[in-house]
Amino acid sequence: MKILVINGPNLNMLGIREPSLYGSGTYDALCEKIHKYCNEKNIEVTFYQSNHEGCLVDRIQAAYSDGTDGIVINPGAYTHTSIALLDAVKSVCIPTVEVHISKVEEREEFRQISYIRLACVATITGKGFDGYLEAVDTLLERNV
């Protein structure tokens, strides 16, 4: 099984940005944690992070032909604005799980909209870095 983990804008700033919301772990630490977890489960995992909406769309489209079986995505603020990301996930028809480190449903009004959720098989929020591992498990369960 091959999983692609996509992180959107400002998630490269993990460990620096708002640690009270997102914790003190860095983006590299997040990738290492997911990588270790996937290794234990014999899952091939690749990572992609960009601050640019079009680059995120390009990477989702590339997943269509690179053998990706499942996508874990934290689109960051593009969650709340991007119909382009929603359409990209719909286009490739690859099971996708939406993850948010913070509990978005308890935050500002503008964070209550998620466009990408309409194309996702599950949403995990407020579980910190562990939410990504839960997303991997969700994809794994679907593939068994």
> Which residues contribute to the site for ligand DQA (CB under 6 A)?
10, 74, 76-77, 79, 100-102, 104, 111
Q: How far apart are CA 139 and CA 97, in angstroms?
A: 8
Q: Are 27 and 132 in contact, with CB atoms under 8 Å apart?
A: no
Catalytic-residue membership of 35? no
**Active site residue: 48, 100, 115, 132, which one?**
100
Would you say 49 or 102 has its CB closer to ligand DQA? 102
Considering the complex, what minimum distance in angstroms separates the CB of residue 69 from ligand DQA? Answer: 23
Catalytic-residue membership of 22? yes
Would you say 2 or 129 has its CB closer to ligand DQA? 129
Q: Which amino acid is at 26?
A: T
Q: Which of 106, 74, 91 is nearest to 6 (CA)?
A: 74
